[in-house]
Amino acid sequence: MDRKLLFFDIDGTLLDEEKQLPASTKAAVAELQEAGHYVAIATGRAPFMFSHLRGELGIHTFVSFNGSYVEFEGKAVYKRALNPEALRELTQTAEANDHPVVYLDHMDMKANVPHHPHIEESLNSLKFDHPEQDESYLHGRDIFQSLLFCVDGEEEPYKEKFGQFDFIRWHDVSTDVLPTGGSKAVGIEAVMNELGMTKDDVYVFGDGPNDVEMLSFTKNSVAMGNSVPEALEAAAMKTAHVNDRGIEKALKQFGLIK
């Protein structure tokens, strides 16, 4: 068969606005797998944040942290951590500004403060609790992403000072801190290399600003009906809203499911 490689974003693509997996999406993914296609996830989330979803869908390959950590069949095939010296300096700057920081590796996340309402508000929107405090968590391990908690506009001085990092706002009070120049497309290439596939074999589905690079990466790209304007512009086609069987409808249009 003509096997394809499909990548799905999570929030707003696989999961609806209530962070629930629509039954139509679960069934469509299962049909893809039964037909022999290779299904993977491409997300800005940390791996431990979607382990349950991977189990529910039977998916063992993923691009996480917007491309900074990639696993293929349970084996890490690409890693790009934050510069540790620059991260320590960023932490010092953030502490002076009363901006808390959370550190994430592929296993867990820890905060540099015992509690902060901005941490609680933003992570609760993803259905996660406030992480425990461990100021030493950034030492002696690869940190693939940090979260800087500040309101819109307050990240600008950090952008000017820390050229090693990309700052991507994902919540009113929180900004992702990632290695500069990374993207989901970079992680997708790592999986392609493992499977010996080309761009023509790759299909991607997304809805957010962090999906733009991967939506531009292949001609087989789909923006959900609930997508931001940048994603709609980058994608080759638009499907229905995540709540209106968007994934199922696009896969049928491609002829990948019945």
**How far does CA 59 lie from the centroid of its chain?**
15
Residue 168, Cβ neighbours under 10 Å: how many? Answer: 16
CA angle 101-102-104, nearest 5°? 145
- In angstroms, the CA 186 to CA 189 distance is 5
Q: Is 52 helix (H, G, I), strand (E, B) or coil?
A: helix
224 with 235: CB under 8 angstroms? no
Residue 172 annotated as catalytic: no
Query: Largest alpha-carbon pair distance within the chain?
Result: 58
187: Cβ contacts below 8 Å, ≥ 6 apart: 42, 63, 64, 66, 67, 68, 69, 70, 78
Which residue out of 9, 11, 176, 211 is catalytically annotated?
9
Could you give the count of Cα atoms lying within 13 Å of 98 in the half-sphere of its Cβ? 4
Residue by residue, DSSP assigns 116-138 as -HHHHHHHHTTT-PPPPB-TTTT
- In angstroms, the CA 231 to CA 3 distance is 26
Structural tokens at position 117: 């309402």
Catalytic residue list: 9
